[in-house]
Chains A and B, each alone.
Chain A
Amino acid sequence: MNNKIIFSIAFFLSMGSIALANEDLTSAHVLFTVNNIWILVSAFLVFIMHLGFAALESGLTQAKNTVNILFKNVSIVAIGILTYALCGFNIMYPGEFNGFLGFSGWGIASPPGNAGLIDYANGAYTYFTDFIFQAMFAATAATIVSGAVAERIKLSSFLIFSTLYVAFIYPVTGSWKWGGGWLDQMGFYDFAGSTLVHSVGGWAALVGAYLLGPRLGKYGKNGYMKPILGHNMPLASIGVFLLWFGWYGFNGGSVLSADPGSISLVFVTTTLSAAAGVIGAMITSWFMSKKPDLSMILNGSLAGLVGITAGADVISPISSVIVGFVSGIIVVLSVIQLDKLKIDDPVGAISVHLVCGIWGTLAVGLFTEVSTVMIQCKGIIICGIFCFISATIIFLSIKGMLGLRVSEEEEILGLDIGEHDMESYAGFQIFTVE
């Protein structure tokens, strides 16, 4: 009876797979197939996060810059995946290396036969599954920057920055931990990338937003602030739900197998933290602004998700609620504080990804035994310094060669017309008299 069930599951799962020719059908193969399918499903889920980012960033910015935001979001996915295939994957996972910088050659090629299939990761996934899942992650790190620098950065400068950052900086810090490098040896723990993905993107977002300066009209003469409203809250909400949805792949897939115990725990901690993030942000924004702000609870759920990402597989459900709740509080405080520091981040990317990424990484040291606060701190600081310096160098070099910011006239007219000669809502009349 049992064999029959295994056989029929295997039959359905194995159609078309050479590894599962009938003669070598074993439970190891069945497990391999199930594992592999789960990681591929996770890769699709992470892919859909890019739609989430595109919707969220469009919704929280002005209508006149929508084509530009969408253009950036689409091209980054392409750039991130292509550069990852070209060199990123082999910088991040160079095999045996000195722990600081390794490179195992250009391009991707699966080891022949079973070495690239069932033997590649002890029956967890194939070489190509490994690549495609990691490639989706790489593109995420670059997309984070896009929101923070929105509505004023030159398209060409942004594309050059993203290409360099995602091709070289992201995989180098990735190799330090996930590639088995020196942070990994030190005992630093980052399950799915609170630091390695979100903070890496967040540092670049901070440097970019600072070097660009605030959008025109955000700060008046006497230092008083005038908010620049996002033009489509329904779109922003759709984006957040898509990101939350995709996060089940981001964290769930990072288990790197279909281990039922581990995946179900990750789903629970991820969900609880996101929910607690919403509540934390709701209470904080209600208290700070007298009225609850939708855009803040949208940021709150993402804050909870970023916060739990470092320890989703080791943290207990009750601790995950605390991690998420605190994330929700600090994201609101951070948004308000950055505005006061005149670092203009239209979508709250720095607060969500950098600040909550740091908090989430620390939380692993606070709430679990897998690492200590000290080691987590070291990892955060090391990655932070490296990303901050490299983002600064890249941005300043681009500034020297091409300039970073569009002209004042273009910014007032909108980047849709300025950069693309195109409107986002042709035929709609948008009332802009203020």
Chain B
Amino acid sequence: MKLIIAVIQPEELPAIKEELLKREIYKFTVSNAKGQGKEIPVQEVYRGISYEISLLKKVRLEIAVNNKYVDAVIEAITTVAKKDGDKGRGKIFILPIEECIRIRTGETGSDAIG
């Protein structure tokens, strides 16, 4: 069992979601995040004063899967996110999961994740 955490650009979320569903990965959590990467900071102007935004809006994806699905998840994210080679495409982290419990039934381990 692995927990995959990916920080991606918000505009890539719909396409990544589609790719995940295509690979039969139906369960994931999405949250808004702010982060600083290597991309060029965004310039905005308000009432004549321009300023730099270095903390940019990101999306954080959390996907818990059985081991055989890990490659599929990585593929789903990278087919969308790596396309133009710009900086700031995000990162994927893979962590082991100690235990997983489905609250409704009390199932544990691999059965609970699937």
Q: Please report A residues at the B interface, Cβ cutoff 8 Å.
A: 225-227, 229-230, 285, 288-291, 293, 295-296, 332, 335-336, 339, 348, 431, 433-434
CB-defined contacts of A290 to chain B, threshold 8 Å = 45
Closest 5 CB pairs of A and B: A227-B46, A336-B48, A227-B49, A289-B45, A225-B49
Bound complex: CA of A293 vs CA of B51, how far in Å?
14
Contact B47 A296 (CB under 8 A): yes
Told that A225-B49, A289-B48, A335-B48 touch, could you supply 16 new A-B pairs with CB distance under 8 A? Answer: A226-B49, A227-B46, A227-B47, A227-B49, A227-B51, A289-B50, A290-B45, A293-B46, A293-B48, A295-B47, A296-B47, A335-B47, A336-B47, A336-B48, A348-B47, A433-B55
CB-defined contacts of A227 to chain B, threshold 8 Å = 46-47, 49, 51
Contact of A296 among B48, B51, B55 (CB under 8 A): B48
Tell me the total A-B contact number using a CB cutoff of 8 A: 39
Bound complex: CA of A400 vs CA of B34, how far in Å?
44
Taking residues whose C-beta sits less than 8 angstroms from the other chain, chain B's interface range is 10 to 19
- B6 CB to nearest chain A CB (Å): 20
CB-defined contacts of A332 to chain B, threshold 8 Å = 48
Contact A433 B34 (CB under 8 A): yes
Contact A293 B49 (CB under 8 A): no
Residue of A nearest to B53 (CB): A434
- A300 CB to nearest chain B CB (Å): 12
Scoring A227, A285, A434 by chain B CB atoms within 10 A of each residue's CB, the highest score goes to A227
Contact A339 B55 (CB under 8 A): no
Binary per-residue interface labels of chain B (8-20) against chain A in the complex, 1 for a CB within 8 Å, 0 otherwise: 0000000000000
Q: Which of B42-64 contact A (CB under 8 A)?
A: 45-51, 55
17 cross-chain CB contacts under 8 A:
A225-B49, A225-B51, A226-B49, A227-B46, A227-B51, A285-B48, A291-B45, A293-B45, A293-B47, A295-B47, A296-B47, A335-B48, A336-B47, A336-B48, A348-B47, A431-B32, A434-B55
